[in-house]
Chain A
Amino acid sequence: MTDLRNLYQEVILEHNKKPRNFGPLEEFTHEAHGYNPLCGDDYHIYMVVEDDVVKKVTFDGTGCAISKAAASMMTTKIKGKSVEEAEQYIAEFRAMMADELDDDGQEHLGHLKVFAGVAQLPNRIKCAVLPWHTLNAAIHGNDGTSTEGEADEWDG
């Protein structure tokens, strides 16, 4: 149970139960669809970007607690930040999942570090990174991303 509490921390469970910024946006400047065909995690990310600042960001869809909490906490983190900083978070989050995050990154990620426990479970890393992959696809104007196949630009 100790290991599980490390993975399913209260903040993750809380965001899973009450996801923030949840639901589609009717008007948006950026949008992408993220899908994991192996487990069915399926999310859309919607953004309103003005003057290179993320004015609004929401997500919609279904998936496990890890992916849903990751998406919810991601939106709270990047809302109001510059696109450049959002991309920095994307890179840092990925580095954390690969166990390669440096001290500066640790500090910058802040409470997103609750996902560090996921990095110890290889078959759940894709759950945590799917929302971030999808955010990356939205920023770069790709229609969508998948954790499998050619659509996964970060595979491996």
Chain B
Amino acid sequence: MSAQSLETPAKIDWDAIRRDFPILDQEVHGKPLAYLDNAASSQMPQQVIDRIVEYQTTFHSNIHRGVHALSQKATDAFEETRSLVRQFLNAREDAECIFTRGATEGINAVMHGYGRKFLKAGDEVVITHMEHHSNIVPWQMLRDEKGIVLKVVPMTDDGRLDLEAFQEAITDKTKFVSCIHVSNALGTINPIKEIAAMAHAVGAPILMDGCQAAPHLTLDVQDLDADFYVASAHKMCASTGVGIFYGKREMLEKMDPFLGGGDMILSVSFDETVYNVIPHKFEAGTPPIMPVIALGAAIKYLTAIGRDNIARREDELLAYAMEKLDTIDAFKLYGPRDTKTSVISFGIGDVHPHDIGTILDTAGVAVRAGHHCTQPLMKRLGIPATARASIAFYNNTDDIDALVGAINDVTEIFGA
């Protein structure tokens, strides 16, 4: 037994944890809200809301350049979050942890700052069939500008990456690999450490899109040997407006900054600008201070519960849901059944996912219906869209029962 599990409480009061989330205590269309759209955006506990209120009511100010007390306090809180992110990712140093406006901006920062500087015509960038649009479009922009070759690793019928095909795709021409850690559409946990080893064997750096991994898995960017790792704060109980962008120091130092402006410089004259050191080189302009401070509170909250406990809770709720859903004849699961996070991507007979979504909404059950910004993945599965229920640790079996009940309404109405 590890030291950490000895320290965690033997039994966690998940009902009390649910009560930390005030938004969950409401009715939608006259039914108790069952919020199962956590993969799109998670909810915020009172502890994080309180921290935002504290910041806005007692020490809101701009950071880094102020000489007054409020500015110092805001700067300390901002930089404390950087340190919390470093611990959350197990990065070597705080300076490797950069705040962007979102994970998408992190990927774009790598495309502009590394891709445009170091990649040239004929160089190959390897991505996968499972990527979110945010990890496809930037590389297509680079392809159109620089003439790089974009190679796409195929996906199996059950929504996994084919590692043999991955190995075949990576050659001496491969100069960059960008891969999603956990599929947002299917929940598949990819063997990202093995993929990183394949990339590094040919000297190619790897970017890992961790938006869905960060809320669920314990992360260690050193163990994974990630050159870059991005995540999204609003999917981990904090607010929209800030993303985590990790890069190895040596990578960040040789890259160009993506955005120019204030705070990212050491000196500016009309002849020359000297860029600031990392992380500031990548944080031009006033950053999203409030969301960053909220992220700090969210990381403290998640860490206090224990990320192993969170993963276990979500896995248990997933198993409970799948046991019930599998008894529905018309229920069809997309993606794998194991080695996955608590995402259930599904269809009901030939009922269109938007009709499923509308019927579930009427029952107070919030899910996502659509292509989940993964149109190539949907095309690979031969479907236009799926319905997606995504479970967080603050959900409970009542939420799952509401989902199952509403799906039975779908089958009844459509005769599916």
Q: Which residues of A contact B (CB under 8 A)?
A: 1, 3-5, 7-8, 13, 38-42, 62-66, 68, 121, 123-124, 127
B residues 324-354 near A (Cβ < 8 Å) are 351-354
Identify the 5 closest CB pairs spanning chains A and B, nearest first. Answer: A64-B352, A40-B384, A64-B354, A65-B355, A64-B355
Q: Is the CB of B29 within 8 A of A4?
A: no
**What is the total number of residues of chain B having a CB less than 8 Å from a CB of chain A?**
19
Q: Is the CB of A124 within 8 A of B362?
A: no
Given contacts A3-B362, A40-B384, A42-B384, contact A66 B29 (CB under 8 A): no
Chain A residues contacting B352 (CB-CB under 8 Å) are 63-65, 68
Residue from the set A8, A39, A66, A68 with the largest chain B CB neighbour count within 10 Å = A39
Chain B residues contacting A38 (CB-CB under 8 Å) are 370
Q: Is the CB of A39 within 8 A of B370?
A: yes
Q: Is the CB of B355 within 8 A of A40?
A: no
Contact partner, A39, options B351, B354, B409, Cβ 8 Å: B354
Chain A residues contacting B409 (CB-CB under 8 Å) are 1, 4
Chain B residues contacting A7 (CB-CB under 8 Å) are 358
Q: Is the CB of B414 within 8 A of A124?
A: no
Given contacts A1-B409, A4-B409, A39-B385, contact A66 B355 (CB under 8 A): yes
12 contacts between A and B (CB under 8 A): A1-B409, A4-B362, A7-B358, A13-B415, A38-B370, A40-B384, A63-B352, A64-B353, A65-B355, A65-B414, A121-B358, A127-B354
Q: Is B402 in the interface zone, CB < 8 Å from A?
A: no
Q: In the assembly, what is the distance between CA of A127 and CA of B409, in Å?
A: 21
Chain B residues contacting A127 (CB-CB under 8 Å) are 354
A120: shortest Cβ distance to chain B, in Å?
11
- For the complex with contacts A4-B362, A40-B370, A124-B358, 4 further pairs of A-B residues with Cβ separation under 8 Å are A3-B29, A4-B409, A13-B415, A124-B354
Q: Of all chain B residues, which has the CB nearest A3?
A: B362
Given contacts A13-B413, A42-B384, contact A65 B29 (CB under 8 A): no
Chain A residues contacting B305 (CB-CB under 8 Å) are none
Q: Is the CB of B351 within 8 A of A65?
A: yes
Chain A residues contacting B369 (CB-CB under 8 Å) are 39
Q: In the assembly, what is the distance between CA of A121 and CA of B358, in Å?
A: 9
Contact partner, A4, options B351, B353, B359, B384, Cβ 8 Å: B359
Q: In the assembly, what is the distance between CA of A68 and CA of B371, in Å?
A: 18
Q: In the assembly, what is the distance between CA of A40 and CA of B257, in Å?
A: 36
B residues 368-416 near A (Cβ < 8 Å) are 369-371, 378, 384-385, 409, 413-415
A153: shortest Cβ distance to chain B, in Å?
23
Q: In the assembly, what is the distance between CA of A112 and CA of B211, in Å?
A: 44
Q: In the assembly, what is the distance between CA of A1 and CA of B414, in Å?
A: 13
Chain B residues contacting A64 (CB-CB under 8 Å) are 352-355
